[in-house]
Structure 1
């Protein structure tokens, strides 16, 4: 089998995604600009959404599941008075209402959307139905019935309220659809609503203040992009960090349990390094780490 062409680089590049482009397209451009062998992302953003899209390169792709589990923050604007078939401004209006909520009514409704909630994803979403994406079925005119799914909402706050719109901030776990929050909030308030603007300001350890503008992603800027890359372990900030012994490092690199010089709770998921070099992610058991993911750095 032919080897993949490109540079063997590993780390994270945080992109400030603009509206009008898909997450996969951003990853493709980053991979091209950096001439990287392998790239992926942690957490899709809708094409019309902007903000933090963390792109994993090389061995950092093995840490994506840990970032996917992390909390994420969204600032968004809800327009009242209309519901659309996509639950955002890109869709077709399906229902309208003359009712408008005031700030007090909005604040009173928010607590029911905090904590462990059940959420029905938008009909135009990447959720699979019988092996097909819901958005593909919706485009074909099929009636899409999606089941509700659990979502952890850490917080949902009203930032500002105007006559026809409101600005909110939500911190939530994986799998959350801000568009569904806007839709359901509009229904509860009796005024209907949809997302007009959506921006992800942080995702786990990655902040929009540290992101690279999409306009700067070009091969001519490769040196600058290299300098802006974050190390693989940037995605592992929520995991305990242990250090391997010299003999343990050899075993861990080969995928075998290895000794570490520091400890954690029995059975806890940790990441291990030799010096500053990440070795693996694994489970700590009585002085050893049993690797689940080994980094080839």
Structure 2
């Protein structure tokens, strides 16, 4: 065998969540495919993209966990944003053409007023360099052709916007916001309120729903691990529902839930709960509690449950 040829190991059914610290310059899909290869996973997906310019938390879902990826897509996010003051660009980030340069000259009071004006519910006009569709075409494709179309403002919520540092033309902010917020647009709008213009020069995602960057691993770290260590980085499939209440069911009740049957419950009403069977039965899936009933929603299959119960030893 040619020593340069790699032995192709078979893919396997993995079920869990990997918190990845995505590197600069790599697309979310490229990062996903590298992690999928390293883990030899059959099925994988991510919970919303991070631009190649951005780094930080990218939750990756494997197997059964992909059923709950939409929950994290809709969750609030937190970022550390670095702004370059005094310059506006065609893309509102550092990759665009510089359109205008202005002097950076504002007081602390003006800065605090500008930050306050952008907190809470605000309307944002989506940038042309975005993946939003217009008549079936992504806006960034039109922008590359020199075409600009009218965009409808979108209501988003900036839960927190705090100054971390400011030195000369560089400013760093901590942002916590609702889904669909464009941090590039936020940077650009702040620059206009300050009268000097600004664009986003770096972005790092630190939180996504209940998940935190502190728990994440890098691709380089994943590369350096052996197979057992890589498997140990996977969090349980219910990780994406970590902020939902938990309900423990008897074996009989679990069987009914998995069959899609509603059952009476004394649990408090909840839009979403995590349902578990009796020990050592694994996570069963998500349900909701309404009108005194436990109503099944997204459930694991018998095969997925068997794999989870068998544990990591069965995957090697």
Q: Return the match for 2:111 from 102, 106, 109.
A: 106
Map Cα deviations across residues 50-78 of structure 1 (whole Å, 9 max, x no partner). Answer: 11011011111111122223221100111
**Quick check: 1:180 aligned with 2:191?**
no
Partner residue in 1 for 2:220 = 215
CA-CA distance at 1:216 after TM superposition:
3.0
* Number of equivalent positions: 291
Q: Please report the TM-score for the alignment, with normalisation by the length of structure 2.
A: 0.86
Unaligned runs of 5+ in 1: none
Question: How far off its partner does 1:254 sit?
Answer: 2.0
Does residue 264 of structure 1 match 2:268? yes
Q: Secondary structure at the match of 2:26?
A: coil
Relative to structure 1, is the Cα distance of residues 259 and 11 closer, same or farther in structure 2, using a 3 angstrom cutoff? farther
2:84 and 2:171 in contact (8 A); partners too: yes
Give the aligned partner of residue 309 of structure 2. Answer: none
Give the superposition deviation at 1:286: 4.6
* Distance (whole Å) between structure 2 residues aligned to residue 219 and residue 111 of structure 1: 45
Residue in structure 2 matched with residue 94 of structure 1 by the alignment: 99
Partner of 1:200: 205
User: Could you tell me how far 1:247 is from its partner in structure 2?
Assistant: 1.8
TM-score (norm 1): 0.92
Give the deviation of 1:101 after TM superposition. Answer: 2.7
Show structure 2 runs of 5+ residues with no match. Answer: 1-9, 306-316
Q: Distance in 1 between matches of 2:197 and 2:267?
A: 53
Q: Does 1:68 align with 2:73?
A: yes
Distance 1:247 1:137 in 2: 56
For 2:158 and 2:245, the matched residues in 1 are separated by 24
Specify the structure having the higher radius of gyration (Cα).
2
Shift of 1:104: 2.9
- Contact (CA 8 Å) 1:252, 1:280: kept in 2 or not? no
Match of 2:36 in 1: 31
1:55 matched residue in structure 2: 60
1:96: how far off?
1.9
Q: Per the alignment, do residues 39 and 219 of structure 1 end up closer, same or farther by CA in structure 2, a change over 3 Å counting?
A: farther
- What's the secondary structure of 1:251's corresponding residue? helix
Please say if residues 201 and 208 of structure 1, whose CA atoms lie closer than 8 Å, have aligned partners that are also in contact: yes
Cα-Cα RMSD: 1.8
Equivalent residue runs for 1:163-174 within 5 Å: 163-174=168-179
Aligned to 1:227: 232
Is 250-259 or 33-42 further displaced after alignment?
A: 250-259
Distance change (3 Å), C-alpha of 1:219 and 1:160: closer
**C-alpha distance after superposition, 1:104-161 (max 9, x if no partner):** 3222211111111111122111111122211122122221332211111110001111
> Is residue 158–residue 167 contact of structure 1 (8 Å, CA) maintained in 2?
yes
